[in-house]
Amino acid sequence: MEANNAYPLAKKTFGKPKTIIEVNGIKIGSDELTVIAGPCAVESEEQLYAIGEYLAGEGVKIMRGGAYKPRTSPYSFQGLKEDGLRLLKGVSQKFDMAIITEVLDLSLLDTIYPYTDILQIGARNMKNYHFLKELGKTDKPILLKRGMDATIEEWLLAAEYILIGGNEKVILCERGIRTFDHTTRNTMDIAAIPLIKQLSHLPIIADPSQASGNRDIVIPLALAAVAAGADGLMIEVHNNPDKALSDGPQSLRFEQFSELMEKLKLVTKLSGKHLSPIPLKTQLI
Helix (H) or strand (E) holding 28: strand 26-28
Q: How far is it, in rounded angstroms, from Cα 284 to Cα 41?
A: 27
Q: What is d(CA 10, CA 154) in angstroms, rounded to the nearest whole number?
A: 12
Estimate the crossing angle of helix 82-95 against helix 45-57, to 10 degrees: 30
Q: So what's the pLDDT on residue 2?
A: 46
Rounded Cα–Cα distance for residues 249 and 236 (Å) = 10
Per-residue pLDDT tens over the stretch 111-126: 999 999 999 999 999 9
Binning the chain into helix, strand and coil, the percentages to the nearest 5 are 40, 20, 40
> 102 to each of 46, 52, 143, 212, 272, how far by Cα in Å?
21, 18, 9, 20, 30
pLDDT interval class at 1 (50, 70, 90): very low
Confidence of residue 284 (pLDDT cuts 50, 70, 90): very low
Query: What average pLDDT does the structure give for the chain?
Result: 93
pLDDT at 282 > cutoff 60: no
Q: Among candidates 28, 40, 36, which has minimal Cα distance to 58? A: 36
CA 268/CA 245 separation, integer angstroms = 33
At position 31, the amino acid (one-letter code) is D
| Residues across the chain | 285
Each residue of 48-99: pLDDT tens digit?
999 999 999 999 999 999 999 877 788 777 789 999 999 999 999 999 999 9
Helix (H) / strand (E) containing 170: strand 170-174
HSE-up of residue 168 (Cα within 13 Å, Cβ side): 11
- CB contact at 8 A, 66 and 102: yes
The pLDDT value recorded for residue 3 is: 46
What is the torsion angle, in degrees rounded to the nearest 10, for the CA atoms of residue 81, residue 82, residue 87 and residue 88? Answer: 80
**Residue 127, pLDDT score:** 96
Q: What is the pLDDT of residues 13-45, one digit of tens each?
A: 977 889 999 999 999 999 999 999 999 999 999
pLDDT digits (tens, 9 = 90+) for 200-223: 999 999 999 999 999 999 999 999
- What the chain holds in terms of domains, given with CATH numbers, is 21-276 (3.20.20.70)
Tens digits of residue pLDDT in 121-145: 999 999 999 999 999 999 999 999 9
Least confidently predicted of 2-16, 169-183, 241-255: 2-16
Asked whether the CA dihedral 274, 57, 246, 217 is positive or negative, the reply is: positive
Would you place residue 280 in the very low, low, confident or very high pLDDT band (cuts 50, 70, 90)? low
Residue type, position 9, single letter: L
Report CA-CA distances (Å) from 67 to 82, 116, 155. 7, 11, 25
9 pLDDT above the threshold of 60: yes
- Dihedral angle of Cα 89, 94, 95, 99, to the nearest 10 degrees: 10
- Per the model's pLDDT, the better-predicted residue between 271 and 12 turns out to be 12
Rounded to whole angstroms, the maximal C-alpha distance in the chain is: 51
Is pLDDT at 285 greater than 50 in this prediction? no
pLDDT above 80: residue 242: yes
